[in-house]
Every structure is written in C-alpha cells, then in structure tokens.
C-alpha cells in the first residue's frame, strides 16, 4: 500500500493525509491522518458517468476503506460541477451482451457495499447528481450539497424505471409520499428544494466547506461505540439489503429484459443524441 504524503492536495494545509490508492485510476482514496476519515473521490471525466470500470474502482475503494479501519467515508467528485451524471448511458445503449451483465452486477455490488457500509458515510455533493449519481449520494447517511446544482432520480424522464432498491434508497430518506411522487415525475431538485424536502441535510458554499461539514457529521459518532453503531445501522438497512441479495439474479434478468426492449433502446438513443446536441451548442 502506497503511503505518500499529499500535503499539496489536502483542503487544510495543516492536515496530513495518507494517499492510499493511486493504483485505481478512476477513484482516489485519501485518509486524513488527524481525523481518520477517508475521502473517496470519483474521477472519470467528463461527467463521472458510472461505467463498469468506475463502478469496479468504487467498490475496490469502499472495500479498502472498510479494511483500513477508517473512521468514516466521504464520497465526492474531482469535477467542479458534476458529482456524477449517473449510469453511463453508453453501457446500456446497444449493449454488449456479456459486458452489460457485468455492469449491472457491479452496480448491485457497489450499492450493497455503500448502502451497507459498516463505517459512517457522507456525500459532499459538489455538482449535479442525477439518477445513479443521486443513488450513490442517497446511499450515504448524510448529504451536503453546493448551491445551483440539481439532484434526483430522473429515470422516468428517460423512459426507464428505477428498480426496487433505488426506491428503497429514496424511501430511507424521503417521506413515502414525496418519494413516490418525485420518482413518478422523475423530478430533479435544485439544491434548495432538496434541502427543503430532506433529500440533502445541509448546503455548503464550497467543496472545502462541504467536506468539513461531512467530517463534522462523521465526528458525531466519535464517542459512540463503533460496534453498537454499525450493528444499529445494519438493522435499519438490512431489509433493503437482504431484498436485493435475495433477488439479485431476478433483478439482473429484469434489467436485461427491460433495457433490450426496442422502445427503451430507441428512447435511450434519442436521449443520448439530445445530450450530445446540447453539449455542441
């Protein structure tokens, strides 16, 4: 394990960090020596689209953090305006048969690892966070978001359906009525709206402040027995986790069936085109 001091990269000049994984290309993990909190940063330009490789690196990084006795995990992005654009649509549009199986299975693994993580988790949402990006943030226990961005499960807007475990994740944060309505609408919330409904816990004016607020949340557990805390968290989340564990294969088959429908493929193609046109204007 590499333990390089990365003093120039830490937000506060006086705090030393251990840079733990640089072998992974699309995520980095830095552990703050003083607080013991690990910051997991997604770094897949241009938009942190969750493709198979980013998902693999995310899982490896979560496992690394679980394994090294970090006091907590903060998930963030190296992109100054995008937390994550969600699933990489190119993985789902005209998919390769083997790869798309691996892709969805890996997404399941990442969710199980993050939602079920034994360490306290927080997301510093420093940019837009649609769909799969929102899923990652919502899987954490606390969310701090920067102003003027958007977040939400917008799947229905793309003509696709968020599976049950996406819904359970929303339901772990939002009142049932709000979760149902916003999922049906595919609603994207502005930062301020997200705060109002409880989708995010705080607003910060900079990434540095968001990271500090996430660290403050994690520090609230400093005096709580770690085993009691993690077992309590597990009890809250075990029904959701168990449901996916029990239905992993069916969930994969449902996804493959749905995504291969000609109408769904057509819709994804049109959506991709609209994104590309927008980026050229």
Ligand X SMILES: CC/C=C\C/C=C\CCCC/C=C/C(=O)SCCNC(=O)CCNC(=O)[C@H](O)C(C)(C)COP(=O)(O)OP(=O)(O)OC[C@H]1O[C@@H](n2cnc3c(N)ncnc32)[C@H](O)[C@@H]1OP(=O)(O)O
32 catalytically annotated: no
CB of 212 to ligand X, least distance (A): 25
Which of positions 45-74 make contact with ligand X (CB under 6 A)? 46-47, 49
CB of 31 to ligand X, least distance (A): 29
- Catalytic position from the list 72, 86, 116, 132: 132
Q: What does the per-residue mask of binding to ligand X show for 209-248, with x meaning CB under 6 A?
A: ----------------------------------------
- Complete edge-to-edge strand list for the sheet that includes strand 129-130: 129-130, 150-152, 189-190
DSSP string, 179-223: HHHHHHHTPPEEHHHHHHHTSSSEE-SSHHHHHHHHHHHHHTTTT
- Catalytic position from the list 32, 154, 158, 199: 154
246 catalytically annotated: no
Q: Return the structure tokens found at 176.
A: 């049932």
Give the whole-angstrom CA distance, residue 236 versus residue 161: 25
Beta bridge pairs of residue 31: 18, 38
Q: Is 146 in the site for ligand X (CB under 6 A)?
A: no
154 catalytically annotated: yes
Q: Which of 72, 95, 163, 186 binds ligand X (CB under 6 A)?
A: 163
Q: Of 66-74, 171-179, 236-244, 270-278, which part binds ligand X (CB under 6 A)?
A: 270-278
Give the whole-angstrom CA distance, residue 83 versus residue 67: 25
Which of positions 181-210 make contact with ligand X (CB under 6 A)? none
Q: Is 154 in the site for ligand X (CB under 6 A)?
A: yes
Give the whole-angstrom CA distance, residue 237 versus residue 98: 31
Beta bridge pairs of residue 122: 74, 142
Q: Which of 8, 14, 184, 279 binds ligand X (CB under 6 A)?
A: 279
127: which residues sit within 8 A by CB, 6+ positions away?
77, 79, 80, 81, 82, 83, 146, 149
Give the whole-angstrom CA distance, residue 208 versus residue 249: 41
The secondary structure of residue 23, as a DSSP letter, is: S
Q: Which of 155, 169, 211, 213 binds ligand X (CB under 6 A)?
A: 155
Q: Of 25-33, 88-96, 203-211, 217-225, which part binds ligand X (CB under 6 A)?
A: 88-96
Q: Which of 95, 116, 130, 152 binds ligand X (CB under 6 A)?
A: 130
- Catalytic position from the list 55, 87, 146, 268: 87
Give the whole-angstrom CA distance, residue 281 versus residue 278: 5
Residues serving a catalytic function are 87, 132, 154-155
Residues near ligand X (CB under 6 A): 46-47, 49, 81-82, 85-90, 128, 130-132, 154-155, 158, 160-163, 254-255, 258-259, 275-276, 278-279
């Amino acid at each position: 394990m590499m333990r390089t001091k990365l003093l120039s990269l830490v937000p506060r000049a006086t705090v030393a960090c251990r840079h733990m994984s640089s072998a992974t290309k699309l995520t980095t993990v830095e552990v703050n020596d003083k607080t013991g909190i690990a910051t997991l940063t997604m770094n897949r330009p241009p938009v942190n689209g969750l493709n198979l490789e980013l998902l693999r690196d995310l899982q490896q990084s979560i496992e690394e953090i679980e394994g090294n006795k970090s006091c907590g995990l903060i998930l963030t992005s190296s992109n100054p305006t995008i937390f994550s654009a969600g699933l990489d649509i190119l993985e789902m549009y005209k998919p390769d048969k083997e790869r798309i199986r691996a892709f969805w299975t890996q997404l399941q693994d990442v969710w199980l690892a993050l939602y079920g993580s034994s360490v306290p988790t927080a997301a510093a949402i420093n940019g837009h966070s649609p769909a799969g990006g929102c899923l990652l943030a919502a899987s954490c226990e606390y969310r701090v978001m920067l102003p003027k961005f958007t977040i939400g499960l917008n799947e229905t807007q793309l003509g696709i359906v968020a599976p049950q475990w996406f819904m359970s994740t929303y339901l772990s944060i939002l009142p049932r009525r709000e979760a149902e309505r916003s999922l049906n609408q595919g609603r994207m919330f502005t930062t301020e709206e997200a705060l109002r409904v409880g989708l995010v816990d705080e607003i910060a004016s900079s990434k540095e402040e968001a990271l500090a607020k996430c660290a403050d949340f994690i520090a609230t557990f400093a005096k709580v027995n770690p085993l009691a805390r993690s077992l309590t968290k597990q009890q809250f989340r075990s029904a959701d986790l168990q449901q996916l564990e029990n239905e992993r294969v069916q969930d994969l088959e449902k996804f493959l069936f749905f995504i291969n429908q000609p109408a769904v493929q057509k819709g994804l193609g049109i959506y991709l085109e609209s994104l590309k046109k927008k980026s050229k204007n």
